[in-house]
Structure 1
């Protein structure tokens, strides 16, 4: 049994055993949960996901006809069964990427990352994972302000955090990384650089307002 977030996987295993079918909408729901776990890739969550999906796969393999099992992993599109497997893999990968990209195309999120209140955090986190203290130093803001602002960014799925030893480090989610591509890349800020110098560079960047920011679809 895995945690509540992945209860879906347990329910699917039960359905497969009872009716030998995969519930309608399962892969769309799985895509959304994968997006969540990829935004915060803790070893515990990834382990739970691996074990849960491994169980679903084993159950399905045990019930599938032998020719189908033999076709899994084949690379030819000439065989109808192998072709169905390959197309299924490609379709799921496309659904996952589409889900992340669709969220990143949100007008609200574009406006958010260009807001002077949030832009310095996005720019700083493009250099790597940073603690709240690092962000406070780099952006010239009080730790309490940084904490509130990061909470808003997490609510929109742009940043997240995880524990590394005794510290909490912040990072851009897949959606946040896509959105950050719309921000200017120069001058670059190096993690570990003189904080006062880095802070001035961030201020220089955020002082330049964007006009007519290109839509992500035009970059594809």
Structure 2
């Protein structure tokens, strides 16, 4: 979550009042909250909560007196300011719900996640965000094939992208990360059980069945 802290710090340097905050920053905050919740990591949630509290207090210092009164819900706060503050809270909740819903997928979500054709993409993006060319090299497929599969993954809410200058990086959505890890946690014991079964069968097989027969002289 150190990246989130630096985003907040940069935002505070570039604005004169909370009204200057760009909509993109709200989307970033929603993404960070969703990621922290999806990871089910209490430490990450606590860290993000602390960062948001610090950011909120810093914004209060830059806000007009009426806005501060509305944010603190004091009786003397103007009705217009209080209404705007409440609408902002509801608006963020709606934005967060909509953004989270967009990243959830239908029944084909898990099916695609666990398919052999897409598993390589998911595993590569679990390690790090990748451009299309980097992903092509990682999975050993042509860029045209990668572009086509990425579109499928984006349509399902499995993959999203972000721009860094002229480069576009693909990354797994939080729900895809959680679903893939759940799928893997179920599949690993199954694979281990099959491997143990094969090893047990091998031990129980008589020695003369473990070797290929040798045919001599055409007999």
Larger RCO of the pair (alpha carbons < 8 Å, separation 6+): 1
- Higher-Rg member (1/2): 2
Instruction: Bin the TM-score by the shorter chain.
Output: 0.3 to 0.5
TM-score (norm 2): 0.46
More helix by share: 2
TM-score (norm 1): 0.46
